[in-house]
């Protein structure tokens, strides 16, 4: 559906050339949610702006539904843009218009008669859960509600593609999840292709089917979300994944770990990583059955569901026993294909 | 009779009220007509300044330079000089060089560049993200102007027009001194030159009231339209 072929973009600035995007190859399939993750300045915004011609590549091709976008101009380009909905970090609503009028905006651009566009806008307001607030002005809405208006407006032209440009980055965690749920619902209901750019791995985990990781203008890694989460290859990807999956080592955990280590100086603090099938296995039970003389203390654990139905779990435990026994236990975990990482030695 | 004493200000029996009324209406007429023309002309000039700013194309750069020069030159000329300078132009345009109608060309030419700058500033303050959003939705340049730029900057456009209107009221008084009619002329010829201070005082009071009314209408409209 979307194809980027060896796309590069160089900006000429006063301080010389800036290569914002370098040799990017990407394919997004119809109906999928594709995530692009990276820190700010990684080139993801520039990349995504090429999808609707707000930016033209210096070299390479941008193809959407077999149409080359990067060479379109004038009326053809405007017509193409109407097929792509876009939602923004700062919502970009018109403060001078009510919710309903904001949703009607793209329909006015195509000259749809008033009665017709009102009906359609009302329907869209219902879809995003703002049916009650159609006469409110943006200044009277919360951030989450504003983004819902943004989503409804982006959907008004029945686009094939929805681009989300850091759409949840200005929202609090709970509102973020609500908006993500809405995007997920829309993806399924309307069979829409969604391209999400974000710096939050959380968004990718919750929503995306496939993900591309960008750094310094390049796509350094891409693949299905469950694969990238369980077996990240690049250093940056590992950092992104662990920022989302790994437990934040709170002071509480550290204190208790310290105490346990003082009590059992020979013990080892181990982080266990589960993915896929292992999540449902009684690993700790098997461990204690096989090593009855080993003491196991559980410190903290968590489990994460990935958008493409993969699962990821992690557990902090302390293993207390003789050196050989602990070593044997770690080997046993390895056999079970549970990743075990010793964090602090006693 | 002491025509210079303070008490002379309050000899209201000297005031010819029908003349006062007529002059008031002339002032209001000059102000409203010139404000209406300035609103349209200033909006177009301001839009031209806004759209041609920051372009890399040589032709557009030259256009921006010409418009900016025109605006800056006419904004710098003191009104009393401008009105004299434009007398031949007024003669051609209106067919007369005295009367309320004859004041309109110089009023417009002095105020339109001023308002054009205010319009340009108002447009520049419209959130760039909103314009980009409209662009991304496939809006034409013209659609962006009348569906985004103007509605989103309307409070600033209206308050700018209020400021312009109030300075125009001042200009009408100056124009009055050289024969445009209105309260300015009344205060100057019937008041100052005829040693009739009461007329000058009343004319002043009426001008102040007109200014207040314009300010009130302006502020009220801004409050009504501003939904931010």
The pLDDT assigned to A308 comes to 67
- Residue B140 distance to chain A (closest CA, Å): 8
Q: Could you tell me if A168 and A286 lie in one domain?
A: no
Q: Which of the residue ranges B4-18, B72-86, B126-140 would you say has the lowest mean pLDDT? A: B4-18
Is there a domain that residue B48 lies in?
A: yes
pLDDT at B114 over 80: yes
Taking only the tens place, the pLDDT of each residue in B156-198 is 999 999 999 999 999 999 998 888 889 999 999 888 888 888 9
pLDDT at A345 over 60: no
Q: Could you tell me if A202 and A256 lie in one domain?
A: no
Torsion angle of the four alpha carbons A263, A267, A273, A274, in this order, in degrees rounded to the nearest 10: -90
Nearest to A54 among B132, B151, B227 (CB): B132
Domain at A260, CATH number = 3.30.70.260
The pLDDT assigned to B109 comes to 93
The pLDDT assigned to A235 comes to 87
What domain range includes position A268?
251-345
Q: How many domains does chain B have?
A: 1
- When the pLDDT of each residue in chain B is averaged and rounded to a whole number, the result is 92
Q: How many domains does chain A have?
A: 2
| HEC readout, A10-51 | EEEECCEEEEEEEEEEEEECCCCEEEEECCCCCCHHHHHHHH
Q: Could you tell me if A229 and A275 lie in one domain?
A: no
pLDDT at A248 over 60: no
The pLDDT assigned to A346 comes to 38
**Are residues A329 and A319 in contact, defined by beta-carbon separation less than 8 angstroms?**
yes
Domain at A227, CATH number = 3.40.50.300
pLDDT at B8 over 60: yes
Residue in B with minimal Cα distance to A90? B129
The pLDDT assigned to A25 comes to 93
CB atoms within 10 A of CB A156: 25
pLDDT at A257 over 80: no
Q: Could you tell me if A283 and A241 lie in one domain?
A: no
**Are residues A293 and A266 in contact, defined by beta-carbon separation less than 8 angstroms?**
no
The more confidently predicted of residues B207 and A315 is B207
Residue in B with minimal Cα distance to A137? B227
**Are residues B166 and B214 in contact, defined by beta-carbon separation less than 8 angstroms?**
yes
Q: Which of the residue ranges A218-227, A260-269, B38-47, B92-101 would you say has the lowest mean pLDDT? A: A260-269
Is there a domain that residue B85 lies in?
A: yes
- Residue A170 distance to chain B (closest CA, Å): 14
pLDDT at A266 over 90: no
Tokens of A160: 């094939």
Helix A283-290, helix A323-335: angle, nearest 10: 140
**Are residues A212 and A37 in contact, defined by beta-carbon separation less than 8 angstroms?**
yes
Is there a domain that residue B64 lies in?
A: yes
The pLDDT assigned to A292 comes to 86
Tokens of B171: 């200009």
> Scanning the structure block, which residue is given the tokens 């050339």?
A17
**Are residues A317 and A298 in contact, defined by beta-carbon separation less than 8 angstroms?**
yes
Exposed/middle/buried for residue B157 (C-beta within 10 Å: 0-12, 13-18, 19+): buried
Q: Which of the residue ranges A78-92, A248-262, A305-319 would you say has the lowest mean pLDDT? A: A248-262
What is the distance between the alpha carbons of residues A303 and A313, in angstroms, rounded to a whole number?
4
Last residue of one domain, picked from the residues A201, A216, A245: A245
What is the distance between the alpha carbons of residues B74 and B113, in angstroms, rounded to a whole number?
7
Is there a domain that residue B1 lies in?
A: no
Long-range contacts of B162-165 (CB under 8 A, 24+ apart): B162/B214, B162/B215, B162/B217, B162/B218, B162/B219, B162/B222, B163/B118, B164/B35, B164/B38, B164/B42, B164/B111, B164/B114, B164/B115, B164/B118, B165/B31, B165/B35, B165/B214, B165/B218
Select from A90, A109, A150 the residue whose CB has the most chain B CBs within 10 Å, as the one to mutate to test that interface.
A109
- Residue B163 distance to chain A (closest CA, Å): 22
Last residue of one domain, picked from the residues A229, A245, A261: A245
Q: Which of the residue ranges A184-193, B142-151, B157-166 would you say has the lowest mean pLDDT? A: A184-193
**Are residues A201 and A240 in contact, defined by beta-carbon separation less than 8 angstroms?**
yes
B22 pLDDT band (50/70/90 cuts)?
A: very high
Q: Is A84–B152 a contact, with Cβ atoms under 8 angstroms apart?
A: no
pLDDT at A77 over 80: yes
What is the distance between the alpha carbons of residues B52 and B69, in angstroms, rounded to a whole number?
13
Domain at B120, CATH number = 1.10.3720.10
Chain A residues touching residue B138 (CB < 8 angstroms): 77-82, 106, 109-110
Ranges of H-type helices in chain B: 17-52, 58-76, 79-85, 87-94, 100-124, 128-136, 141-144, 150-175, 182-185, 197-225
Chain B residues touching residue A195 (CB < 8 angstroms): none
Q: Could you tell me if A164 and A301 lie in one domain?
A: no
Q: Provide CB contacts within 8 A for A232, sequence distance 6+.
A: A221, A238, A240, A241
DSSP characters for A137-156? -GGGS-HHHHHHHHHHHHHT
Q: What is the DSSP letter of A111?
A: T
Is there a domain that residue B49 lies in?
A: yes
Q: Is B127–A82 a contact, with Cβ atoms under 8 angstroms apart?
A: no
The more confidently predicted of residues B58 and A246 is B58
Nearest to A52 among B127, B136, B152 (CB): B136
Residue in A with minimal Cα distance to B138? A78
Residue A274 φ/ψ, nearest 5 degrees: -115, 145
Q: What is the CA radius of gyration of chain A?
A: 24
pTM of the model: 0.83
Q: Provide CB contacts within 8 A for B201, sequence distance 6+.
A: B9, B10, B191
Chain B residues touching residue A117 (CB < 8 angstroms): none
Is there a domain that residue B178 lies in?
A: yes
Nearest to A94 among B132, B138, B152 (CB): B152
Q: Could you tell me if A230 and A318 lie in one domain?
A: no
Q: Could you tell me if A120 and A194 lie in one domain?
A: yes
pLDDT at A145 over 90: yes
Tokens of A65: 């539904």
Q: Could you tell me if A240 and A319 lie in one domain?
A: no
What domain range includes position B93?
6-225
Q: Could you tell me if A146 and A265 lie in one domain?
A: no
DSSP characters for B95-122? S-SSSHHHHHHHHHHHHHHHHHHHHHHH
Is there a domain that residue B121 lies in?
A: yes
Measured CA to CA in angstroms, residue B44 lies from A238, B147, B150 at distances of 56, 15, 11
Chain B residues touching residue A88 (CB < 8 angstroms): 129, 133
The pLDDT assigned to A161 comes to 94
> Scanning the structure block, which residue is given the tokens 């590992």?
A238
Select from B131, B135, B138 the residue whose CB has the most chain A CBs within 10 Å, as the one to mutate to test that interface.
B138
Residue A23 φ/ψ, nearest 5 degrees: 45, 55
Taking only the tens place, the pLDDT of each residue in A15-34 is 888 889 999 999 999 999 99
| Number of separate helices (H) and strands (E) present in chain A | 12, 14
Q: Could you tell me if A219 and A262 lie in one domain?
A: no
Q: Could you tell me if A286 and A240 lie in one domain?
A: no
pLDDT at B105 over 80: yes
pLDDT at A263 over 80: no
What is the distance between the alpha carbons of residues B57 and B54, in angstroms, rounded to a whole number?
9
Q: Could you tell me if A129 and A7 lie in one domain?
A: yes
Nearest C-alpha neighbor of B117 from the set B180, B38, B54, B192: B38
């Amino acid at each position: 559906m979307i194809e980027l072929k060896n796309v590069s973009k160089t900006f000429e600035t006063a301080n010389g050339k800036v290569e914002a995007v370098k040799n990017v190859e990407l394919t997004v399939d119809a109906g999928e949610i594709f995530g692009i993750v990276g820190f700010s300045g990684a080139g993801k915004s520039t990349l995504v702006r090429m999808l609707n011609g707000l930016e033209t590549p210096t070299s390479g091709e941008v193809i959407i539904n077999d149409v080359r976008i990067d060479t379109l101009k004038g009326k053809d380009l405007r017509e193409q843009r109407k097929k792509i909905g876009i939602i923004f970090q700062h919502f970009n609503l018109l403060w001078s218009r009510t919710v309903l009028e904001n949703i009607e905006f793209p329909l006015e651009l195509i000259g749809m008669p008033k009665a017709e566009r009102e009906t359609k806008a009302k329907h869209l307001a219902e879809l995003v859960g703002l049916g009650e607030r159609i006469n409110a002005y943006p200044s009277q809405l919360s951030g989450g509600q504003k983004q819902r208006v943004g989503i409804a407006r982006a959907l008004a032209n029945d686009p094939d593609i929805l681009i989300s440009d850091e759409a949840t980055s200005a929202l609090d965690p709970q509102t973020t999840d609500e908006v993500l749920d809405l995007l997920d619902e829309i993806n399924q209901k309307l069979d829409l292709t969604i391209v999400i750019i974000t710096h939050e791995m959380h968004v990718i985990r919750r929503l995306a089917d496939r993900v591309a990781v960008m750094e310094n203008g390049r796509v350094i890694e891409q693949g299905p979300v469950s694969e990238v989460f369980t077996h990240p290859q690049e250093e940056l990807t590992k950092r992104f994944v662990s920022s989302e999956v790994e437990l934040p080592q709170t002071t509480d955990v550290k204190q208790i770990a310290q105490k346990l280590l003082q009590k059992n100086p020979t013990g080892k603090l181990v982080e266990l990583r589960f993915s896929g099938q292992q999540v449902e296995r009684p690993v700790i039970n098997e461990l204690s059955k096989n090593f009855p003389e080993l003491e196991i203390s559980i410190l903290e654990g968590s489990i994460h569901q990935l958008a493409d139905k993969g699962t990821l779990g992690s557990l902090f435990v302390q293993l207390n026993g003789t050196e050989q026994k602990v070593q044997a236990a770690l080997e046993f975990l390895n056999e079970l294909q549970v990743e075990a990482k010793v964090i602090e030695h006693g | 009779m002491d025509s210079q004493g303070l008490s002379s200000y309050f000899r209201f029996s000297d005031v010819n009220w029908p003349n006062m009324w007529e002059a008031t209406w002339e002032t209001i007429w000059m102000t409203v007509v010139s404000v209406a023309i300035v609103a349209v002309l200033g909006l177009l000039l301001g839009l031209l300044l806004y759209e041609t700013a920051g372009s890399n194309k040589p032709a557009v750069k030259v256009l921006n330079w010409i418009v900016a020069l025109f605006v800056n030159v006419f904004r710098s000329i003191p009104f009393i000089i401008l009105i004299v300078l434009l007398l031949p132009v007024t003669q051609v345009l209106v067919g007369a060089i005295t009367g309320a109608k004859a004041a309109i060309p110089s009023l417009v030419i002095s105020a339109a560049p001023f308002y054009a700058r205010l319009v340009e500033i108002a447009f520049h303050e419209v959130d760039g993200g909103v314009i980009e959003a409209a662009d991304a939705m496939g809006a034409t340049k013209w659609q962006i102007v009348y569906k985004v730029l103007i509605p989103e900057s309307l409070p600033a456009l209206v308050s700018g027009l209020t400021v312009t209107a109030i300075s125009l009221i001042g200009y009408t008084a100056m124009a009055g001194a050289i024969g445009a009619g209105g309260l300015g002329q009344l205060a100057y010829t019937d008041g100052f030159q005829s040693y009739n201070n009461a007329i000058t005082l009343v004319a002043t009071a009426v001008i102040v009231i007109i200014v207040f009314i314009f300010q009130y209408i302006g502020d009220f409209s801004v409050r009504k339209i501003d939904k931010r």
